[in-house]
Protein backbone atom coordinates (compact mmCIF):
# COMPACT_ATOMS: atom_id res chain seq x y z
CA UNK A 1 0.00 0.00 0.00
CA UNK A 2 1.51 3.38 -0.93
CA UNK A 3 2.38 5.81 1.84
CA UNK A 4 0.26 8.95 1.67
CA UNK A 5 1.68 12.41 2.17
CA UNK A 6 -0.50 14.62 4.34
CA UNK A 7 -1.85 17.78 2.75
CA UNK A 8 -0.11 21.00 3.65
CA UNK A 9 -1.99 23.52 5.74
CA UNK A 10 -2.78 26.46 3.46
CA UNK A 11 -4.69 28.87 5.73
CA UNK A 12 -5.70 29.28 9.36
CA UNK A 13 -9.44 29.11 9.96
CA UNK A 14 -11.08 30.64 13.01
CA UNK A 15 -14.07 28.98 14.74
CA UNK A 16 -16.36 31.65 13.25
CA UNK A 17 -15.02 31.04 9.76
CA UNK A 18 -15.53 27.32 10.32
CA UNK A 19 -19.20 27.93 11.14
CA UNK A 20 -19.60 30.05 8.00
CA UNK A 21 -17.86 27.53 5.75
CA UNK A 22 -19.91 24.57 6.98
CA UNK A 23 -23.14 26.60 6.85
CA UNK A 24 -22.46 27.69 3.26
CA UNK A 25 -21.45 24.18 2.18
CA UNK A 26 -24.86 23.02 3.36
CA UNK A 27 -26.59 25.78 1.43
CA UNK A 28 -28.00 27.48 4.50
CA UNK A 29 -28.40 31.21 5.07
CA UNK A 30 -27.78 32.67 8.50
CA UNK A 31 -31.55 33.10 8.86
CA UNK A 32 -32.20 29.45 8.01
CA UNK A 33 -29.54 28.27 10.47
CA UNK A 34 -31.04 30.56 13.10
CA UNK A 35 -34.48 29.01 12.69
CA UNK A 36 -33.02 25.48 12.90
CA UNK A 37 -30.95 26.03 16.04
CA UNK A 38 -32.71 28.90 17.84
CA UNK A 39 -29.64 31.15 18.00
CA UNK A 40 -30.51 34.65 16.76
CA UNK A 41 -29.27 35.49 13.26
CA UNK A 42 -27.45 38.54 14.61
CA UNK A 43 -25.51 36.30 17.02
CA UNK A 44 -24.62 33.89 14.20
CA UNK A 45 -23.36 36.85 12.17
CA UNK A 46 -21.30 38.08 15.13
CA UNK A 47 -19.80 34.60 15.63
CA UNK A 48 -18.90 34.29 11.96
CA UNK A 49 -17.28 37.74 11.97
CA UNK A 50 -15.32 37.16 15.18
CA UNK A 51 -17.17 39.74 17.27
CA UNK A 52 -18.61 37.10 19.64
CA UNK A 53 -16.83 34.00 20.93
CA UNK A 54 -18.37 30.73 19.82
CA UNK A 55 -18.18 29.00 23.21
CA UNK A 56 -18.74 25.33 23.92
CA UNK A 57 -22.50 25.48 24.51
CA UNK A 58 -23.19 27.43 21.31
CA UNK A 59 -20.84 25.08 19.46
CA UNK A 60 -22.91 22.10 20.61
CA UNK A 61 -26.15 23.72 19.42
CA UNK A 62 -24.66 24.81 16.08
CA UNK A 63 -22.96 21.45 15.53
CA UNK A 64 -26.27 19.65 16.02
CA UNK A 65 -27.94 21.97 13.50
CA UNK A 66 -25.04 21.63 11.04
CA UNK A 67 -24.75 17.85 11.58
CA UNK A 68 -21.07 17.89 12.53
CA UNK A 69 -19.00 17.30 15.66
CA UNK A 70 -18.61 20.37 17.91
CA UNK A 71 -14.82 20.00 17.78
CA UNK A 72 -14.94 20.79 14.05
CA UNK A 73 -16.29 24.22 14.98
CA UNK A 74 -14.32 24.90 18.16
CA UNK A 75 -10.91 23.58 17.05
CA UNK A 76 -10.85 23.89 13.23
CA UNK A 77 -7.05 23.98 12.94
CA UNK A 78 -6.16 21.44 15.62
CA UNK A 79 -3.98 18.53 14.58
CA UNK A 80 -2.81 15.53 16.56
CA UNK A 81 0.98 15.34 16.74
CA UNK A 82 2.10 12.05 15.23
CA UNK A 83 4.26 9.81 17.43
CA UNK A 84 7.59 9.03 15.83
- CA 48, chain centre distance (Å): 9
- On the CB side of 29, CA atoms within 13 Å amount to 5
- pLDDT at position 38, please? 97
- Separation CA 1–CA 29 (nearest Å): 43
Its pTM stands at 0.79
Radius of gyration of the chain, Cα coordinates, nearest whole angstrom: 15
**Domain residue spans of the chain:** 15-74
- pLDDT at position 48, please? 97
- pLDDT at position 13, please? 87
Task: Provide the residue-wise pLDDT of the chain in tens; the chain has 84 residues.
Answer: 678 777 676 778 899 999 999 999 999 999 999 999 999 999 999 999 999 999 999 999 999 999 999 999 998 777 666 555
Domain 15-74 has CATH 1.10.260.40: yes
For residue 15, the tally of other CB atoms under 10 A from its CB is: 22
Amino acid sequence: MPKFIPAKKRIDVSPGESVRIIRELQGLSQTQLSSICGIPQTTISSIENGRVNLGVERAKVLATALRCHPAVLVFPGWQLESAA
